[in-house]
Structure 1
Amino acid sequence: MQHYSATYAPEDNKLRLYSLSRLDAETYQRVAAAGFRWAPKQELFVAPAWTPAREDLLLSLCETIEPEDTTVADRAAERRQRFEGYAEKRLQEAEAEHARVDAITEHIPLGQPILVGHHSERRARKDAERIQEGMRRAVKAAETSKHWDWRALGVARYAKMKSDPAVRQRRVKGLEADLRKQQRIIKESDTFLEYWSRPDLTMAQALAIANICHLSFCFPLDKYPRAAGASQYEGMRSLWSALDDDIIDAPAAQQLALEALTRQRQHAQRWADHYTGRLEYERAQLDDAGGDFGERFPFVAGATVLIKDEWLAVIRVNRSGGRIVSLTTTAPRHVHWTNTWKFGVEDVKDFRAPSADQAAASKAPPIVNYPGESMLAITSAEWAATNKDYKAVRVAQASAEHGAHRYRVIMRNCRLHPVFLTDKKRVDLPAAAAAAAAAPVPQPEACAA
């Protein structure tokens, strides 16, 4: 009887399978096909990352998955000790080979040539071969020892990197992006499940839904027979194509779509639950290490931040989910192809609050929104649906007629038109007097008496 146990470590997101005896051939094939690999020094099977399929496999073998007892630091310390042992052994071999070479050369005077024809010629040539071979082995062992020293150092650096707060902050941002992706899939699946669940679905309605719900299936001839003149293709094809070619009717398409979308939603929900659990773990670890990097400084536009060895001005503070995740700053000195650059908050080493003048200068002018003869009246939905390459927000400098402001433009019929959003609050042009009052008044120079 086989005895298995399985563990999961959120620290490195890996699943591990322990077995008290050798796996039978069938189980080994299942484990290997799922991506598990044998770790001989740890005497276990390990998968490089968690997936629903790997979790299902372990649950079928073990029924439960327990938390992993060892940490990344523990395993790193064990590996480093092992690698250092390898390095020490190879160094001893190099020293032993060098000592054997010294034993051969100690009776040979320095610069002594091989005496051709002398009775010592044969021994001298053998000694030369042994010296050359011994030095080759000594050099190779020394190089191997250096290799294992570097491996041991790499293991220590990797363990330190995994627990570094800045690395953990970036990992949190990546997990949040992955979670948002799965949430979008769940939302999309719910929408299409609602569409396909309509009673008495007609062919026209099924075609309309299949045109925006992109699902593909195989339609073998034994299950979906066709007329002699119809396509006999049995490979993957879209649901819309199968409906359009009369391979299936609306009820059959409805059943296929509901089953596929249900599976898709369940799969996405498992990933979302997994990412949620990992985020809870990573944020807890980040709190223990000093908290979120976005809360360590009072970031505002106009401030300056130290990134690497350069102070840069903050142009915009970028948020996601109510949290500060990155900063748009002036371009660093090595960047010459753009005027701005984006950095994660974890890259900031120091912070300087803006002065009153800097804060005022960093404040963007208002975006105007008012009707007019030259204005193109559209809705906010139309503006949002327009590709970013065909719309922009431009800045108008202060003049005698108006103050500084921003305005929207959009491309229509190969021309740029200023935009008035009909469902947004009206914002008129700022008065010129306000801009003049804000500007410093030059003082006349005093005349010499």
Structure 2
Amino acid sequence: MTRPEPLGTATYHLDDNTLRWTPGARLDPTEYTHVTTAGFRYWRSLDAFVATWTPEREDTLLTYVDVIEHDTDLDDPTGRTERFTSRAAAAERRADNRRETATAITGQIPPGQPILVGHSSEGRHRRALARSDQHMRKALEEHRKAEYWQNRARGSERRARQKTDPGVTQRRIRTLETDLRRIERNLTQYQDLDHLNEAQQAGRTRAERWAAHLTLRLTYEHARLDTLTGGTPTLTAQDFTAGETVLCRGTRSEVIRVGTKKVRVKILDGGAAGMTLLEPPERLQKLPAPT
């Protein structure tokens, strides 16, 4: 599927590994099915179709645009948190106004007054109860909206903390390195073959694209980590030794065992003294050698 002219713009977002496509025009049913089947979902807040990067999804986008631009940081979790918090507060105010209106309406009816069937007040009484019930229903809807936006705000706060936490970046780097080693092992299977058939050639090309993509992401994540740590070398599990005293979550602890990726420590002070924890190295802090 190709178009005579590019349709909209597309970007690859390194910060969250997503492809984002803004068509700039309404898609016809065939185009919509094509992109959603490939894994793209429409994000109304961005007015764009978004999907995690894969070679196939990149190829799908390239049937609509000539080039996919790279953007290193489109994400703004702090600004998003502020917007979501503001929306939650506005919804809560609307809910309060609805409840106050419902209370004011029912307050005009004497407490405990039943509907006097056949009396001249019957119609007013029923209409007042109906209006009050309608306002209470709207108040409940607005309260649910407020809860929704509050949950979105909390999610954005977590995202903001993750972006500034070196430990999160270190764990992401380890995952990417593991994925890259797996892809490189897959590539070695093609080296011993004198001739590749069509399927094997396609498999090798796909693996090479994945390797290049993971290398790009590792370069970006290492640069992010350097920014967060000020270029200070990060510790690995092998930087610790059994019997060493360290700080674990701000508490003096003793290293019991060192694994390939994590370190088991025993808490020495406080109410948790004697408890053992298995921690990643970024949560541990070396103490200066005693003089």
Shared fold per TM-score greater than 0.5 = yes
Q: 2:234 aligns with which of 283, 293, 299?
A: 293
**Where does 1:47-446 land on structure 2 (aligned, <5 Å)?**
47=51, 49-68=52-71, 71-73=74-76, 76-77=77-78, 79-109=80-110, 111-114=111-114, 116=116, 119-191=120-192, 193=193, 197=194, 258-290=197-229, 291-294=232-235, 299-308=240-249, 311-318=252-259, 325-329=261-265, 342-348=278-284, 350-352=285-287
Partners of 1:2 and 1:20 within 8 A in 2: no
Partner Cα separation in structure 2 for residue 41 and residue 138 of structure 1: 25
Partner Cα separation in structure 2 for residue 69 and residue 278 of structure 1: 10
Match of 1:205 in 2: none
Partner Cα separation in structure 2 for residue 133 and residue 334 of structure 1: 58
Partners of 1:2 and 1:21 within 8 A in 2: no
Partners of 1:77 and 1:156 within 8 A in 2: yes
Partners of 1:304 and 1:354 within 8 A in 2: no
- How far apart are residue 102 of structure 1 and its match? 3.7
Inter-CA distance 142–122: structure 2 relative to 1 (3 Å threshold): same
Partners of 2:251 and 2:267 within 8 A in 1: no
Partner Cα separation in structure 1 for residue 105 and residue 148 of structure 2: 28
Q: 1:8 aligns with which of 6, 12, 31?
A: 12
Partner Cα separation in structure 1 for residue 224 and residue 44 of structure 2: 30
- How far apart are residue 168 of structure 1 and its match? 0.6
- How far apart are residue 308 of structure 1 and its match? 3.5
- Which has the higher relative contact order, 1 or 2, with Cα contacts under 8 A spaced 6 or more apart? 2
Max radius of gyration: which structure?
1
- How far apart are residue 296 of structure 1 and its match? 12
Code of the aligned partner of 2:173:
V
Match of 1:22 in 2: 26
Consecutive unaligned residues in structure 2, runs of 5 or more = none
Partner Cα separation in structure 2 for residue 284 and residue 70 of structure 1: 13
Q: Deviations over 1:177-208 (max 9, x none)?
A: 111111111123323x1xxx3xxxxxxxxxxx
Partner Cα separation in structure 2 for residue 265 and residue 69 of structure 1: 28
Partners of 1:189 and 1:264 within 8 A in 2: no
Inter-CA distance 266–42: structure 2 relative to 1 (3 Å threshold): same
Code of the aligned partner of 2:170:
Q
2:109 is paired with a residue whose SS is coil
Partner Cα separation in structure 2 for residue 133 and residue 342 of structure 1: 55
Partner Cα separation in structure 2 for residue 289 and residue 296 of structure 1: 20
Code of the aligned partner of 2:287:
R
Inter-CA distance 122–341: structure 2 relative to 1 (3 Å threshold): closer
1:190 is paired with a residue whose SS is coil
Partner Cα separation in structure 2 for residue 269 and residue 10 of structure 1: 19
Partner Cα separation in structure 2 for residue 309 and residue 65 of structure 1: 45
Relative to the length of structure 2, the TM-score reads 0.79
Task: Give the CA RMSD over aligned residues.
Answer: 3.5
Q: Deviations over 1:298-341 (max 9, x none)?
A: 6333212333365443245456xxxxx533445997999xxx86
Partner Cα separation in structure 1 for residue 73 and residue 228 of structure 2: 20
Q: Deviations over 1:265-319 (max 9, x none)?
A: 3222211111111111101110111144317996333212333365443245456
Partner Cα separation in structure 1 for residue 198 and residue 274 of structure 2: 51
Partner Cα separation in structure 1 for residue 95 and residue 250 of structure 2: 44
Code of the aligned partner of 2:243:
G
Greater helix proportion:
2
- How far apart are residue 91 of structure 1 and its match? 2.7
Partners of 2:237 and 2:263 within 8 A in 1: no
Partner Cα separation in structure 2 for residue 259 and residue 69 of structure 1: 35
Partner Cα separation in structure 2 for residue 282 and residue 328 of structure 1: 27
Inter-CA distance 3–140: structure 2 relative to 1 (3 Å threshold): closer
